[in-house]
Structure formats: C-alpha cells, structure tokens
Amino acid sequence: MARQPILEFWYEFASTYSYLAAMRVEAAASEAGVAIRWRPFLVGPLFAAQGWTTSPFNLYPAKGKNMWRDVEREAARLGLPPVTRPAQFPQNSLSAVRVAILGQDQDWLVPFSKAVFTASFAEGRSIAEPAAVTQIVDSLGLDGTQTVRAAAAEANKTKLRVSVEEARSRGIYGAPTFLADDGELFWGNDRLEQALAWATGDRPKGLR
Amino acid sequence: MARQPILEFWYEFASTYSYLAAMRVEAAASEAGVAIRWRPFLVGPLFAAQGWTTSPFNLYPAKGKNMWRDVEREAARLGLPPVTRPAQFPQNSLSAVRVAILGQDQDWLVPFSKAVFTASFAEGRSIAEPAAVTQIVDSLGLDGTQTVRAAAAEANKTKLRVSVEEARSRGIYGAPTFLADDGELFWGNDRLEQALAWATGDRPKGLR
C-alpha cells in the first residue's frame, strides 16, 4: 500500500485566513488523498521580528477593512456562518495555542482547533482568557481545567517556542502556511489547492 | 440587449501579481461575459503613504523569497513562460504607466500593457528608461518616440496623479485590484474569479 502523502498545515488562532483554511482543509485533503498534519503556532513572534507591533491588518487600515470584507465573502462562499468579529483583533491566542501544542498528537487537536476558530470568528467570542479556553475544552467532553493547567507547564511552553522557531527556520512568515515534505512552502488559504496538488506529486509543467 | 457588466482592473507594471492577472484577465472575463476596463496606476505613492520605502517583498525577505517562488509556480500553472526576474525589483514604472495613461481609451492599451509586463517578467528586461518604453511602443507598430514624448506632457502627468488619487479614495491599497461598479473591491490576482462572478451579479449566498 502506497504511503499517503502528507501536508503540514501551520495555523494561528488569531488569524482570519487560518480560520477559513481550518474549516475546509479536511474535506479538500480527503478529496486529494492527502493526510494533513495540523501544526499550531504563533505568528506574533515572527511579526515582531520584522518590526510589526500588531497585525498588518491593523497597521494598514485600507488593507484591514478589505480583509474583513473578503473574509465575509469567502466565508459565505464556503457555506460557513456569517463572520462575527471578536471585540479584540487580533486576539491573544497564547492560552489556546498552548493547549493545541499539548494536543499535537492527540485525536482532539482538530476538533479543539476548529472549536477555537468557531468561537472566535463565527461567534465573536473571546478566546484570550484561560477560562474561555477551559470552556472550549470542556465542551469537547474533556477536562478543561486539567488540560489548561497541563498546557501551562514549562515543558509544553518550551515545545511551543520550539515550534515557532521551527516555523521561522523553515521560511514561514505568516499564517496559514502549507508545507510539503520536500520543503515547498505555500502561503495563504488561497494556496491550499496548489499545496495539495504538490503533495501528491502533481507539479506545474515547465516549472524550473 | 443587456448591457455587459464591467469590471475595473487596476494594475501596476512593477507588480508581479499584476503581471499574472494581466496575462489571464482577458480569457477569464470573456468566459464570464464581463467587459474589463484596464486602469493603469502607481502603487508607490500608496505604499509611501503607509511608510514603505520599497516593495513589501523587499522589506520582508522571507515573504519576498516565497513570492518569487509562488509567481514561478503560478506562471507555470497558467502556461506562461518561465519567470525571469528583472535586475531591479521593483522597477521604476513611471515612464511605462504614463504611456498607459495616455492610451487609456486607445485600442493599443492592452497590447502595450501586456508587452510591458512580458518584457519585465518573462524576459527580465528593464522597463525603467524612457528608451525601453519607446522600443516597446515601436514594437507595436506605433511611433514610440512621439508617444513617450506625449506621455510626458503636463496634462497627462496630471491624469496619472488623478488616477492614483482615485485609487486611494476608492480604497485601493495594492495591485492588482478589481473594482466592481458598485464599489466592491477585490485585491489580488487570486480574486479575479470572485470579482468576475460579483460583476455578473453572482454573489455568495448568506452574505450580509
């Protein structure tokens, strides 16, 4: 039996286009016959390293205004609920991503991640406080209090830092990003189809 | 006979994704039954207003590196020749855009614009000097010397400034941008399909 191709999906809970990608990546990957490895991380440290103190969508208002409109349009096109903007943007995603890192090889990583995105962008709820993340974990039938506590352990915090450093060293500069196992990098929800094709060995003709 | 829907295509000669859009917009628009109004402009003044002294692809090297790879992949996917990077990026597009503004309502605007993009990104040639632009106009069977001279007239320079100001006032912050006649704005080559659908009245269901 041939090994199923693998594509890494690097995502950030504060990122609107990571949300759109998270809600459609499973169906698209299944159709393409590709296994997705979900890789939660933080883009904040990468943005800070290039001198940004907040999201570029806040730094550049015309760009930010159209981003929200575009996300509304794309969400509607994908059949997602109407987008509701969280009161804070970008939200502090540290508590949520620590839990996701703890869940890296667990079967609850994907439902947890989708629940965080849905809370943030479909329901406009805060995901910033540990209590909000606890509630989301609880809603999956797991022990939220214990999970959030375990996620704050030093070893898990280090795992997150290592993931962010891995992202940077592999050329990631934003979210979402798709990484094929040969290192080919595709940035943005709009490149999911191309990344899946690449992972299956379907490359554009004439590419040098 | 129903009036054909119109979509404005705002493009910048120094922009790689404007190149990709320019080479595919005619076929896509024809299939969708939409008339395209080509709107040449300069993004430099908009970038400068938000504090950028050069292209964001130069300011942020990881982003820039992946942009070139992405443009190579997308060009191959579209069946375009291999991308050749001009020695300077971004190129100074002032001479070329002045000629395009002069050609705004002329039948040579589209072939001229595609010839400039091809010179820059398929052949890696400089388009910065007036002599290079003259040669491109000549190659279309027009009088390059006279055209470049006419494009440098004060009234035409003013027309370009007005176009850039129109872009800014209509919410444009980058290139390419597609603008529907109700003001709906789509940024980027990746949004051509959505913009064409919008122009024909085909809107995503559930959009507020």
* Distance of residue B8 Cα from the nearest chain A Cα, in angstroms: 17
d(CA A73, CA A75): 6
pLDDT of residue B48: 85
Query: Which residues from chain A sit within 8 angstroms of residue B205, using beta carbons?
Result: 76, 79
Residue ranges in B33-122 assigned as alpha helix (H) = 44-49, 56-59, 61-77, 94-102, 109-117
Q: In Å, how far from its chain's centre is CA A171?
A: 16
pLDDT of residue A49: 82
Residues A104-163 pLDDT 10s = 989 999 999 999 999 999 999 999 999 999 999 999 999 999 999 999 999 999 999 999
Residue A88 is classified by DSSP as S
pLDDT of residue B183: 96
Written as one letter, the residue type at A83 is V
* Residues 44-103 in B contacting A (C-alpha not used; CB under 8 Å): 50, 59-60, 62-63, 65-66, 69-70, 72-74, 76-77, 79, 82
| Ranges of each domain in chain B | 6-199
Distances (CA, A) of B90 to A62, B20, B41, B84, B192: 22, 15, 14, 13, 23
ipTM: 0.94
pLDDT of residue A173: 94
pLDDT of residue A1: 55
Local confidence pLDDT in tens for the 208 residues of chain B: 568 999 999 999 999 999 999 999 999 999 999 999 999 999 999 988 888 888 888 888 899 999 999 999 999 999 999 999 989 999 999 999 999 999 998 999 999 999 999 999 999 999 999 999 999 999 999 999 999 999 999 999 999 999 999 999 999 999 999 999 999 999 999 999 999 999 999 999 888 7
Smallest Cβ–Cβ distance between A173 and the set B60, B73, B194 belongs to B60
The residue among B53, B59, B173, B191 with the most chain A CBs within 10 A of its CB, best to mutate, is B173
Written as one letter, the residue type at A121 is F
Q: Which residue of B has its CA nearest to A77?
A: B204
Smallest Cβ–Cβ distance between B82 and the set A173, A185, A208 belongs to A208
Extract the residue ranges of chain A whose pLDDT is less than 50: none
Active site residues per annotation of B: 15
Considering the segment(s) A6-199 as one domain, its CATH architecture is 3-Layer(aba) Sandwich (3.40)
Cβ of A171 and B63 within 8 Å? no
